[in-house]
Structure 1
Amino acid sequence: MDLTRYFARIGLTAAPAMDREGLATLQSAHRRAIGFENLAIPLGDGIRIDSTSVFEKLVVQGRGGYCFEQNRLLSDALSALGLVNRPLLARVMLGLPEHAAPPRTHTLVLVNMEGAAWIADAGFGGSFVPPLPLEDGAQAQTPDGAWHRLLRSGERGSLAGEWRLERAGPASATDGRSAPHGEWQPQYVFDLGEVAQDDLEMGNHWTSTRPDTRFTTLCIASVVLENGFAAMTDRQLSIYRNGVSEMREVTDAADYARTLREVMGIALTDAEAARLPLFT
């Protein structure tokens, strides 16, 4: 981990204090600078989640990535800053029935800070998830106007997870999978079981290769904005900022690559965009 290059990539001039405000500052800067994307899958490049490969792609090359990449980078940065942390695995519940048990295809970070446990997540593409203390009922509001909370959801080993993250806020400040109302909606459930690197590798392999899933059939990108959220699914771009929503369709590969660079902070060339299934 080269913290100097990482800070330059996320727009910080110095390391924030490693307290609750500093963690929020670091994660917010990361989410606003490094877009969420799955484009290595439709491009046929494959996704590697070791520290060296992730740093090269997200920091050096200026690309984005999905949870297994984003939270690998965040975890490495937190470790370099002196915070003990480890990965967790979660089941994403967006748009699913209450008792569904999808695979554990999301990863987040459990952080030990100031003698307490926190969750940090720089890799959830559906919306902006702020750092939260691992406490039943813990809540936080994000600049897009949404509220987020953690609830104890079950016993250890339960398919429903020990913990559930919920969100209440404008559906326009998401990637479109949230229901159009402001009531609490589950985002994902997780437990505190130890996660090995091979567990992450298995989740990444399933997510990037399983036929007929969101990540293997669509081109996805999103990013946190200063007071909102931007998401692009295939050619449909939605931007929510300061309570105002706008949508448009991307016209061609050059427009797609330009939108990624200017809105999402993702460095994709026109030639690479032209290789996407959207334009072939």
Structure 2
Amino acid sequence: MDLENYFARIGLSAAPTLDPDGLAQLQLAHRRAIGFENLAIPLGEGVRIDSASVFEKLVVQGRGGYCFEQNRLFSDVLSALGLANRPLLARVLLGLPEGVVPPRTHTLLLVNLGGDAWIADAGFGGSYVPPLPLEDGAQVQTPDGAWHRLLRSGERGSLGGEWRLERAGPAGATDGRSAPHGVWQPQYVFDLAQVAGDDLEMANHWTSTRPGTRFTTLCVASVVLDGGFAALSDRQLTIHSQGVSETRAIEDARDYAQNLRDLFRIALSDEDAERLPPFS
């Protein structure tokens, strides 16, 4: 892990403190600087989630990635800083009808902070999920005005998950799948089962190749802003800042690539943007 280059990528001049405040600072800087995106899928690049490939793409090349890439990188960084962590797998409930049980297509991290268990997630594209202590009822507010909480949701091994992450806040500070009101809404459920490397490879393969899913039918991107959130879904761009949301249509591939570079911090050329389904 080349921490110097990573810190330069996310705009930190030094390593944060190894405590809850430092973890929150590090994750927020990561999400503000490294955009969430699935563009490797429609571009036919494939999604590799080994440490070397992820570092090359997200740090060296200045691209973004989705959860299996983002949290691979974040896990490596935490390990290099001396924070023990391991991956967990989750079922994303955002935007789904009640009672639907989706597959485990999201990964997050379980982090040991001074003997206490915390969850950290640098790779959820639907909204900004801050670090939270693994405690029933734990709550925290994010700069976009949303509240987040963890609840014990079921028994170990249950389909409904052992833990449930919920959010209450402005729908504009999400990728558009949130209902337009501020009551508590589920984001995802997870349990604490051990996750092997091949479990992640299988989930990543399904997520990046399964026909008819969000990641194989749409071009999506998101990034955390100072007090807000920005999201792209094909040609629709939504920017939520200081409580106000604005949506507009992307004009062409050049406009798309320019927004990726300037707003989402994703280095994609005009030529590659022209190859994406909304423009090709």
**CA shift at 1:94, angstroms?**
1.0
Q: Show the counterpart of 1:246.
A: 246
Q: Show the counterpart of 1:128.
A: 128
Q: Show the counterpart of 2:66.
A: 66
The answer to which of 242-251 and 40-49 deviates more is 242-251
Taking the TM superposition and a 5 Å limit, the aligned residue runs for 1:43-58 are: 43-58=43-58
**CA shift at 1:99, angstroms?**
2.3
Matches of 1:51 and 1:28, distance apart in 2: 21
Matches of 1:144 and 1:104, distance apart in 2: 27
Coordinate RMSD, CA, aligned? 0.5
Q: Is 2:254 the counterpart of 1:265?
A: no
| 1:202 maps to amino acid | M
Q: Is 2:22 the counterpart of 1:22?
A: yes
Matches of 2:16 and 2:30, distance apart in 1: 13
Instruction: State the Cα deviation string for residues 254-274 of structure 1 (Å, max 9, x = none).
Output: 100000000000000001101
Matches of 2:173 and 2:157, distance apart in 1: 32
Taking the TM superposition and a 5 Å limit, the aligned residue runs for 1:1-280 are: 1-280=1-280
Matches of 1:53 and 1:165, distance apart in 2: 30
Runs (4+) of structure 1 moved beyond 6 Å?
Answer: none
| 2:195 maps to amino acid | V
> Partner of 2:102: helix, strand, or coil?
coil
Matches of 2:108 and 2:244, distance apart in 1: 30
**CA shift at 1:180, angstroms?**
0.3
Matches of 2:206 and 2:135, distance apart in 1: 31
> Partner of 2:104: helix, strand, or coil?
coil
Instruction: State the Cα deviation string for residues 75-125 of structure 1 (Å, max 9, x = none).
Output: 000000000000000000012233221000000000000110000000000
Q: Which runs of 5+ in 2 are unaligned?
A: none
Asked whether the equivalents of residues 137 and 151 of structure 1 are also in contact (C-alpha less than 8 Å), the reply is yes
Q: TM-score, normalised by structure 1?
A: 0.99
Q: TM-score, normalised by structure 2?
A: 0.99
> Partner of 1:42: helix, strand, or coil?
coil
Asked whether the equivalents of residues 165 and 186 of structure 1 are also in contact (C-alpha less than 8 Å), the reply is yes
> Partner of 1:27: helix, strand, or coil?
helix
Matches of 1:60 and 1:96, distance apart in 2: 36
Matches of 1:220 and 1:251, distance apart in 2: 16
Matches of 1:218 and 1:20, distance apart in 2: 35
